[in-house]
Structure 1
Amino acid sequence: MSHTLRDRAHADLGGLQARHPWVFHPPLKRRFVTVTVVVALTGLMLVGFWRLGFSFERMIKGIGELGTLVMLMLPPNPGSWSKAVLIFHALAETLAIAFLGTLLAAIIAFPIGFVAARNTTVNRLVQFASRRVLDGIRGVDALIWALLWINVVGLGPFAGVLAIMMSDIGSFGKLFSEAIEAADKRPVEGVTSTGGSRLHQIRYGIIPQILPVIGSQVLYYFESNTRSSTIIGIVGAGGIGLHLSEQIRTLEWQSVSFIILLILVMVAVIDLISSRLRQTLIGRSAQGKG
């Protein structure tokens, strides 16, 4: 039996080689291009390491310093009860920044997604302009938006919310428009056959299809923004990042490890909850299609 299977495998392999010879025996030109690309990328990587001062000696020495730093961080300790209360308050502020920034971005990007989608836009010129605007917004990192908004509205969590919001509007606009374009045309055609207007097509033919997808995307970005809001807090946009930066500056390493531990726990809990909610939304979407 095993010999029969082996003979069939060899026969299939021979047939595949006969039908697709360029896969098993690529031409010399293709091999030359592949080798050239690999060599060029390897050379570029080595030049980059050289220009950036990469050194194995410095890396090994840095690992030793990292071990010393980890020992200084143990055990995690906020220092005092009053300090712990401030840290937990800042952690809640970070969570609020991520939630409000993500929610506002989703609300603003939802109508923009319809303008940027090919099948629901006003005309091609409007679609092109809206896509380019979304590309421009998305091209600026949340940290840069935080620095800009701090100079506009001042230090604090309000600047953090605006930074998360602006960063996500570009991403949500693109994702929402792609979900709209990928929507099944049959429900839209059904609404049209009953005399429905363009707004009816969107309301009853497209929105019910894309809501689970959009909900899943918003939950994922909320999880991601929880980490981002920690980073932007370091530059003065409120939240736990500001306390983390202060503890590092004053070399309070046990407090630093306590804050990092709280951030890890918060992100893990949010990841668990959002993953289950996303699975629920995806499951409902699959049932609806079925």
Structure 2
Amino acid sequence: MTRPPPARGRTADVAALRLRYPDAFRVSWPARLATLAAAAALLGLTGFAMARLDFSATRILNGLGRLGEFSLMMLPPSAGGRFPDFLQALGETLAIAFLGTLTAALLAFPVAFLAARNVVRNPFAHFAVRRGLDVIRSVDVLIWALIWINVVGLGPFAGALAIACADFGALGKLFSEAVETADRRAGEGVAASGGSPLHRIRFGLVPAVLPVLGSQVLYFFESNTRSATIIGIVGAGGIGQYLTELIRVLELQQVAFLVLMILATVAAIDAVSGRLRRALIGGEAR
């Protein structure tokens, strides 16, 4: 068994290292002061936000008792004889999420190539497309739902349009980043064999990025199932309309049943889409 070196020997080694590499052991007081200033600013901002929002631990503790009462009122979950209606509304929510995600992906796919630096060399065109995607992505899906409700009226069509608009900006950005980071060797091979720029995109870039894009679309569909529930609360169709109505009249047992239906649906979609995403990425790796 090897014995550790004596403390005096270790001290001598450290001293030798200090002499050999003085920069590594030099204390950077400006960096330390900057770290302390950033930590103090963060604490100050947190305190200001808590005071501005009237944060109170007492209110939280008092609210926990009320939350317990609501939880007891939700037991046992019951459909109240409305299970067919709830099931139809859940199917409507899934249809909103599917149609909105599919529309956004189809629109974002060609735009992503215009936003990719390795496809569009013109910096002004590239900048304009990127900033346009940023503007669309900066508007939340709930705001899009309120806009489309006023344009096309209440119902699931407005919900699908809202998800399509919100996801168009996000998917366009993610797709363009996937195109920019794709392996260029296939495209260079197509160009070396006499292919045109369109051939380089079609046979070089698209096959390389398609598994990644498919994985991202599946994840967005899973996420949009929850988003479709939320926008239903403002009148964009789906199971969210039942949720807001039942919460308003305190039919909490039916609310609990709807929540369980949503949880089961999201869990099932997560399991299926997770397998599909792993298959796509695994196939790309092979």
Within 5 Å, give how 1:136-215 maps onto structure 2: 136-215=135-214
Find the aligned partners of 2:45 and 2:65 in 1 and give their Cα distance. 29
> Would the alpha carbon gap of residues 283 and 51 (structure 1) be closer, same or farther in structure 2, given more than 3 Å must change?
same
Aligned to 1:50: 51
Superimposed CA distance per residue, residues 115-165 of structure 1 (whole angstroms, 9 cap, x where no aligned partner):
110111262221111101100000000000000000000000000000000
Shift of 1:21: 6.2
Find the aligned partners of 2:254 and 2:239 in 1 and give their Cα distance. 12
Find the aligned partners of 2:20 and 2:182 in 1 and give their Cα distance. 37
User: Any idea what SS the aligned residue of 1:121 has?
Assistant: coil
> Would the alpha carbon gap of residues 247 and 44 (structure 1) be closer, same or farther in structure 2, given more than 3 Å must change?
same
Shift of 1:26: 3.5
> Would the alpha carbon gap of residues 258 and 16 (structure 1) be closer, same or farther in structure 2, given more than 3 Å must change?
farther
Shift of 1:5: 9.6
What TM-score, normalized to structure 1?
0.92
Shift of 1:3: 2.9
Residues 134 and 174 in structure 1, CA contact (< 8 A), matched pair in contact too? yes
Superimposed CA distance per residue, residues 195-228 of structure 1 (whole angstroms, 9 cap, x where no aligned partner):
0011110011100100000001001111110100
Aligned to 1:283: 282
Residues 113 and 176 in structure 1, CA contact (< 8 A), matched pair in contact too? yes
- Structure 1 alignment gaps of length 5 or more: none
Find the aligned partners of 1:230 and 1:19 in 2 and give their Cα distance. 64
Residues 104 and 165 in structure 1, CA contact (< 8 A), matched pair in contact too? yes
Shift of 1:25: 5.5
CA RMSD of aligned residues (A): 2.1
User: Any idea what SS the aligned residue of 1:158 has?
Assistant: helix
Give the share of equivalent positions with the same residue, in percent. Answer: 55
Within 5 Å, give how 1:1-290 maps onto structure 2: 1-3=1-3, 14=14, 26-80=27-81, 83-121=82-120, 123-287=122-286
Superimposed CA distance per residue, residues 224-254 of structure 1 (whole angstroms, 9 cap, x where no aligned partner):
1010000000000000000000000111000
Find the aligned partners of 1:166 and 1:185 in 2 and give their Cα distance. 31
Shift of 1:16: 8.0
What amino acid does structure 1 have at the position aligned with 2:34? V
Residues 115 and 122 in structure 1, CA contact (< 8 A), matched pair in contact too? no
User: Any idea what SS the aligned residue of 1:78 has?
Assistant: coil
User: Any idea what SS the aligned residue of 1:91 has?
Assistant: helix
What amino acid does structure 2 have at the position aligned with 1:42? L
User: Any idea what SS the aligned residue of 1:3 has?
Assistant: coil
Find the aligned partners of 1:146 and 1:51 in 2 and give their Cα distance. 30
Superimposed CA distance per residue, residues 10-34 of structure 1 (whole angstroms, 9 cap, x where no aligned partner):
79x9598778766665312211111
Task: List 4+ stretches of structure 1 deviating above 4 A.
Answer: 4-7, 13-25
Find the aligned partners of 1:108 and 1:59 in 2 and give their Cα distance. 45
> Would the alpha carbon gap of residues 5 and 222 (structure 1) be closer, same or farther in structure 2, given more than 3 Å must change?
farther
How many residue pairs align between the two structures? 282
> Would the alpha carbon gap of residues 16 and 108 (structure 1) be closer, same or farther in structure 2, given more than 3 Å must change?
farther
What amino acid does structure 1 have at the position aligned with 2:60? M
Shift of 1:168: 0.3
What amino acid does structure 2 have at the position aligned with 1:30? A
User: Any idea what SS the aligned residue of 2:279 has?
Assistant: helix
- Structure 2 alignment gaps of length 5 or more: none
Shift of 1:84: 1.1
